[in-house]
Structure 1
Amino acid sequence: MKRAFGLVLIALCILTTGCGLTVGTSYTVSGRIVCADDDSQGIGNVHVGFSGSRSVEITETRDDGTWTVSGLRGSVTIAPASADWVFEPGYRQVSGAEQDVGFTGIRSAANSLGFQQVVAGKNYALFLRADGTVYFWGSSGSVYTYGAAMRVSGIEDIVAVAAGAYHSLALKADGTVWAWGANDRGQLGNGTYSDRCDVPAQVAGLSGVRAIAAGEYHSLAVKNDGTVWGWGDNSTYQIGRDAPTTTPMPVMKVGMGSVASVAASGYRSLALKADGTVCQWGFWRIALPWGDSTYWLNRYVGDAESVGLQGVISIAAGSEHSMALKNDSTVWAWGVNSHGQLGSGTEWDHDPLRVEGLDGVVAIAAGDRNGLAVKADGSVWAWGANTQNYLGTGTYSAIIPPTMVMGIAGTAAVASGEQVIAAVDCFGDLWRWGMSYPGASPAVLYAIGAPRRISAF
């Protein structure tokens, strides 16, 4: 842990070289971290990081939970970190001398909440509990939490969740779909283009749904009859050729049937059919090699095209690549491979390629230029973009082939967003890694390395 924070400190110092680390009057800040259930008990041996445009420091709490750091300059974000605790608030910001800057620690003990699904948006994650309740962690609009996850109010009896860039979906046991978050492209399906709605509301005119997915600005649903319905952004045909550029109400995709599930990214959509084949439509890029150069052709496809796979049981859509899990527990990927997100050394591949070095896989996730897989033994494997150990594998560059994520075991499901990776384990614990405070501003972001537990209220 000390080595990881030391590397972060060095990296941030390098990034801020020449930016005036010594400019301005220095000041001292002190505080204490205490237990949530007994504020007389301090928490010792907790790393406390201080990051800003003019200061980068790190210290450790004393046995009584107190800490002090001097020589800070400018505005600074203070953030405690521990593998055994989560903290409220997740961070504090100061710009001058202060005393008694307090944090409360909640012990990360294995829980019995029974979380069974996790999805990730741009800066946040949703966790679905077995009792049908949904929990939120991260940042979305004016709603944020960087300590414990908080329950999403106003919905219950949920059987599936989906996360877009800035909006969320939930499928109820009665087959209705509920949405909240951003709505500038009509992605909430309420018939309007209102700015946003942070209270879940039912998607109008949609019932009998069995599967859902959320792209960056569009939403998808599969009805019990196997038809696909979409709403929101359709600027690249990610809903379908026959729909308008944006639609704030669900419309059926013509020519699609016998669909079991769907996946969505920023500008394209995928469908897994009941026979184990996969179709895609929307926008993607195709590389055209020309001598020593590569030219990229933009394709806009309104009618679903087969990707040429059979025996598929699960699909995932990343920013510019897609993934499929087959019934033989192998993982296949296709699309742009700028950072190794296909798990191979090729620059791109329109046809699916097997991700080498993976077998016994039970779950997959595709993020922003990365891929993740959960094996039957509960281990998590990652590949692709990995700046500053973003994927938690212990290395600091793009990963090819897949490498095991350190510090997490017994994993049941994993999800990858743009700035956050999240997982649930077989004990019901919640985990997150990726960036330090996704979406926080003006906090300085850095990769946190090994996964950390999240507590639920």
Structure 2
Amino acid sequence: MNRHVFVLCATLLMLLSACGNGDAERRRGDSPQPGTCEPACETGFSCVNSECYVQVRPEDCGEDEEFDPRLRVCLTPQCDDGVQNGEEEGVDCGGDCEACEIPELCGNGEIDEGEACDHGGTIQLACAYGESSCEVCNVRCELVPGQVTGFCGDDQVQAGGGEECDHGGSPQTACPDGEDVCQVCAEDCTLVAGEASGSCGDGVIQGEEECDGAALGGASCQSLDLPEGELSCAANCTYDTAACVASDGIEELALGYSHTCARRADGSVYCWGRNDDGRLGDGGSSDRVTPTAVVGLDDAVQISAGGYHTCAIRENGTVVCWGDNADGQLGNGTGVGSRLPTPVPGLTNVTAITTGTWHTCAVTGRGAAYCWGQNNYGQLGDGRAVGSSSPVLVSIGLSDATRIDAANFHTCARRNNGALVCWGRNTYGELGDPNFTLSYSEEALVQVRGPNGTATLSGDFIGLGNGFTCARTDQGQVYCWGINGEGQLGTGVAGTSYYAGLVGTGFAQLSVGEFHACARDSAGAVSCWGRGSEGRLGLGNIANYDQPQTLVMPAVEHVEAGGTHTCAILQDGRVMCWGRNSNGQLGDGTLNDRLVPTEVGF
């Protein structure tokens, strides 16, 4: 084929609804300097096709994407970007792959005038085995970025590289169950004699296993500093602490992109889902498919789960955070992540906490607000666009905050008089004032306006998504504004809206996820709207809905929307979740997505 080229799956958030599966874990961001890489992209961004894009990790890329280790972005092979890809028969010169003029002497095996290389008749397409980046010679005898292929751990056997097998990143160490003699794939992708033991499920603890079957290695709920109960071993040979719980119920839920946390009445916190960066706070890096206790935290009064990290307010008014810290979002003055709760120095008397994707904010009892982490759009509110790994005062006119909420690139707060204000990115009008036309606000608060664009909007709650915002008034009305590619504004009207649009009335509680939102009425009925992929709306399908749709489920006390999933505390005390479950974030003991509410395995 000659139609493959490296292009970014999403160039701007406006296009997010049309690309890939919308997985929030890809850490996509729009360009801070659209259309140019001059003078240079900011830290954490790479230049692709003259635009700056946020850097990601290999695991953030989708099935149809490839991770470019040189640029650190997710790319999809196609034709027209100037990259000579492996299946292109013509030449890729940044346009029609067969329309480039080929120099007369190109291909003669000698580097002639005007040629940077000469392939001698055979086009070099891919990097040498094991290389993560290189330049290759295309059919015009130019050096262009090469296609990164062929390394041990890519799940494909390259015989030319000396591979006999490929373990896909995790070496096979033992024979499959039931086999006594076998060959297994070693770390260097060669076949070696396997052992007839050493697998999870054989009743013997080995390697990185915490437990195996009935073998717990002497561990117990008490030895793990958990409430009394019976410790067991999960099918993946990690501790199952679901039964190490106090008798009192769940009082609060917090949902991130791919993890979930719950706070009990006794102050203990349990988390489950993705954990490679330590966001579950159990001291390890293994994903958890059932609730697992956060180590050393038994006096939490509020919790918040962000994109890749989690925070909690302790009973004494101090804050602890854990998980990824690449942008300083843990607030401990470093860029080093933590797998256990870590104090945020200098913060006391904290009454409210919120975790965005890459920044965190808190409100103190005197109404002052502090933020820390990424700040490329002024979302920290300190009048600058420079990030901070320690708390900085929101100094642009806010001294009477009662609650605060953070998203990807903007932040909003409720003032003591009920007025709602926002700051940070405003690309899609997410700050809530149709008269404010700048792309972001870093030096002043923006007053949220009502439907007519003139009167101010007041309320008891404001919630932020990716490029949109919603608020609930004291009278139970819900309004939304901003980007609307998948119906996330819930108004039934297509297109981005810079005005607050009425979603509905009679709502007692509201929660906003990355691309969807849910609300509960006074009778406990839940309605959701927006993106429906992976079943996050709980309606039994994956369709998008641009108006609230009522779920079929038991009466709910509180509903919470996350990145790609949703959870609720029922009036009878149980917890149910639905949506994406790729990392066990639904807590039902499986990795199966759920299109309808499913009970969490407490």
What is the TM-score normalised by the length of structure 1?
0.70
1:300 to 2:440 alignment:
yes
Corresponding residue of 1:352: 500
Contact 2:448–2:457, Cα closer than 8 Å, also in 1:
no
Corresponding residue of 1:233: 374
How far residue 404 of structure 1 moved from its aligned partner, in angstroms, is: 1.3
Question: Which of 425, 450, 457 is residue 570 of structure 2 equivalent to?
Answer: 425
Contact 1:116–1:413, Cα closer than 8 Å, also in 2:
no
3-state DSSP of counterpart to 1:346:
coil
Corresponding residue of 1:149: 291
- Higher RCO, 1 vs 2 (CA within 8 Å, ≥6 residues apart): 1
How far residue 236 of structure 1 moved from its aligned partner, in angstroms, is: 1.0
1:259 to 2:419 alignment:
no
Given residue 358 of structure 2, which amino acid in structure 1 is its aligned partner?
Y
Question: Which of 154, 175, 185 is residue 327 of structure 2 equivalent to?
Answer: 185
Contact 2:261–2:272, Cα closer than 8 Å, also in 1:
yes
Corresponding residue of 1:166: 308
Once residues 416 and 216 of structure 1 are traced to their aligned partners in structure 2, the CA distance between those partners, rounded to angstroms, is 14
Corresponding residue of 1:131: 266
Once residues 89 and 416 of structure 1 are traced to their aligned partners in structure 2, the CA distance between those partners, rounded to angstroms, is 27
Corresponding residue of 1:373: 519
CA 1:368–1:244 in 2, change beyond 3 Å: closer, same or farther? Answer: closer
Corresponding residue of 1:330: 477
How far residue 245 of structure 1 moved from its aligned partner, in angstroms, is: 1.6
Larger fraction in strand? 1
Given residue 350 of structure 1, which amino acid in structure 2 is its aligned partner?
Y
Q: For residues 141-167 of structure 1, what are the alpha-carbon distances to aligned partners after superposition, in whole Å with 9 as ceiling and x for unaligned?
A: 254554321111111221111111111
Corresponding residue of 2:412: 270
Given residue 365 of structure 2, which amino acid in structure 1 is its aligned partner?
N
Contact 1:271–1:278, Cα closer than 8 Å, also in 2:
yes
CA 1:366–1:88 in 2, change beyond 3 Å: closer, same or farther? Answer: farther
Identical residues among aligned pairs (%): 27
CA 1:388–1:216 in 2, change beyond 3 Å: closer, same or farther? Answer: closer
Q: For residues 324-373 of structure 1, what are the alpha-carbon distances to aligned partners after superposition, in whole Å with 9 as ceiling and x for unaligned?
A: 111111111111111000002231112211103xx332221111211111
Once residues 534 and 344 of structure 2 are traced to their aligned partners in structure 1, the CA distance between those partners, rounded to angstroms, is 40
How far residue 212 of structure 1 moved from its aligned partner, in angstroms, is: 0.8
Once residues 439 and 284 of structure 1 are traced to their aligned partners in structure 2, the CA distance between those partners, rounded to angstroms, is 34
How far residue 430 of structure 1 moved from its aligned partner, in angstroms, is: 1.8
Given residue 326 of structure 1, which amino acid in structure 2 is its aligned partner?
T
CA 1:153–1:398 in 2, change beyond 3 Å: closer, same or farther? Answer: same
How far residue 114 of structure 1 moved from its aligned partner, in angstroms, is: 1.7
Contact 1:125–1:420, Cα closer than 8 Å, also in 2:
no
3-state DSSP of counterpart to 1:140:
coil
CA 1:454–1:192 in 2, change beyond 3 Å: closer, same or farther? Answer: same
1:315 to 2:462 alignment:
yes
3-state DSSP of counterpart to 2:460:
strand
- CA RMSD in angstroms comes to 3.1
Corresponding residue of 1:454: 600
Given residue 320 of structure 1, which amino acid in structure 2 is its aligned partner?
G
Corresponding residue of 1:76: none
1:247 to 2:395 alignment:
no
Contact 2:533–2:542, Cα closer than 8 Å, also in 1:
yes
CA 1:135–1:197 in 2, change beyond 3 Å: closer, same or farther? Answer: same
Once residues 266 and 518 of structure 2 are traced to their aligned partners in structure 1, the CA distance between those partners, rounded to angstroms, is 27
How far residue 416 of structure 1 moved from its aligned partner, in angstroms, is: 1.9
Q: For residues 249-278 of structure 1, what are the alpha-carbon distances to aligned partners after superposition, in whole Å with 9 as ceiling and x for unaligned?
A: 111011211110000001000101111110
Once residues 268 and 252 of structure 2 are traced to their aligned partners in structure 1, the CA distance between those partners, rounded to angstroms, is 11
Which consecutive unaligned segments of at least 5 residues does structure 1 have? 1-14, 17-28, 32-86, 93-103, 288-296
Question: Which of 262, 265, 281 is residue 423 of structure 2 equivalent to?
Answer: 281
How far residue 315 of structure 1 moved from its aligned partner, in angstroms, is: 1.5
CA 1:236–1:447 in 2, change beyond 3 Å: closer, same or farther? Answer: same
Contact 1:112–1:427, Cα closer than 8 Å, also in 2:
no
Which region of structure 1 is more displaced relative to structure 2, 177-186 or 149-158?
Answer: 149-158
Contact 2:288–2:584, Cα closer than 8 Å, also in 1:
no
How far residue 439 of structure 1 moved from its aligned partner, in angstroms, is: 7.8
CA 1:371–1:253 in 2, change beyond 3 Å: closer, same or farther? Answer: same
Corresponding residue of 1:216: 357
CA 1:389–1:259 in 2, change beyond 3 Å: closer, same or farther? Answer: same
How far residue 428 of structure 1 moved from its aligned partner, in angstroms, is: 2.2
How far residue 176 of structure 1 moved from its aligned partner, in angstroms, is: 0.5
Contact 1:307–1:351, Cα closer than 8 Å, also in 2:
no
What is the TM-score normalised by the length of structure 2?
0.54
Given residue 434 of structure 1, which amino acid in structure 2 is its aligned partner?
G
How far residue 88 of structure 1 moved from its aligned partner, in angstroms, is: 7.3
Once residues 177 and 523 of structure 2 are traced to their aligned partners in structure 1, the CA distance between those partners, rounded to angstroms, is 44
How far residue 89 of structure 1 moved from its aligned partner, in angstroms, is: 4.3
CA 1:380–1:88 in 2, change beyond 3 Å: closer, same or farther? Answer: farther
3-state DSSP of counterpart to 2:439:
strand
Contact 1:243–1:251, Cα closer than 8 Å, also in 2:
no
Corresponding residue of 1:7: none
Given residue 251 of structure 1, which amino acid in structure 2 is its aligned partner?
V
Contact 1:141–1:166, Cα closer than 8 Å, also in 2:
no
Contact 1:124–1:420, Cα closer than 8 Å, also in 2:
no
Once residues 138 and 422 of structure 1 are traced to their aligned partners in structure 2, the CA distance between those partners, rounded to angstroms, is 13
Corresponding residue of 1:119: 254
Contact 2:361–2:369, Cα closer than 8 Å, also in 1:
yes
Contact 1:189–1:204, Cα closer than 8 Å, also in 2:
yes
Which region of structure 1 is more displaced relative to structure 2, 175-184 or 239-248?
Answer: 239-248
CA 1:390–1:211 in 2, change beyond 3 Å: closer, same or farther? Answer: closer
Once residues 285 and 244 of structure 1 are traced to their aligned partners in structure 2, the CA distance between those partners, rounded to angstroms, is 16
Contact 1:112–1:428, Cα closer than 8 Å, also in 2:
no
Once residues 313 and 162 of structure 1 are traced to their aligned partners in structure 2, the CA distance between those partners, rounded to angstroms, is 18
Which consecutive unaligned segments of at least 5 residues does structure 2 have? 1-62, 65-175, 179-231, 278-284, 430-436, 450-455
Contact 1:236–1:282, Cα closer than 8 Å, also in 2:
yes
Contact 2:276–2:287, Cα closer than 8 Å, also in 1:
no
How far residue 183 of structure 1 moved from its aligned partner, in angstroms, is: 0.7
Corresponding residue of 1:9: none
Contact 2:536–2:565, Cα closer than 8 Å, also in 1:
no
Contact 2:534–2:580, Cα closer than 8 Å, also in 1:
no
Once residues 112 and 322 of structure 1 are traced to their aligned partners in structure 2, the CA distance between those partners, rounded to angstroms, is 37
How far residue 90 of structure 1 moved from its aligned partner, in angstroms, is: 7.3
Which region of structure 1 is more displaced relative to structure 2, 382-391 or 315-324?
Answer: 382-391
Contact 1:90–1:146, Cα closer than 8 Å, also in 2:
no
How far residue 206 of structure 1 moved from its aligned partner, in angstroms, is: 0.8
Larger radius of gyration: 2
Count of residues paired in the alignment: 348
Once residues 144 and 298 of structure 1 are traced to their aligned partners in structure 2, the CA distance between those partners, rounded to angstroms, is 43
3-state DSSP of counterpart to 2:485:
coil
Q: How does 1:32-71 map to 2 (within 5 A)?
A: none
Once residues 286 and 368 of structure 1 are traced to their aligned partners in structure 2, the CA distance between those partners, rounded to angstroms, is 14
Contact 2:404–2:411, Cα closer than 8 Å, also in 1:
yes
CA 1:30–1:169 in 2, change beyond 3 Å: closer, same or farther? Answer: same
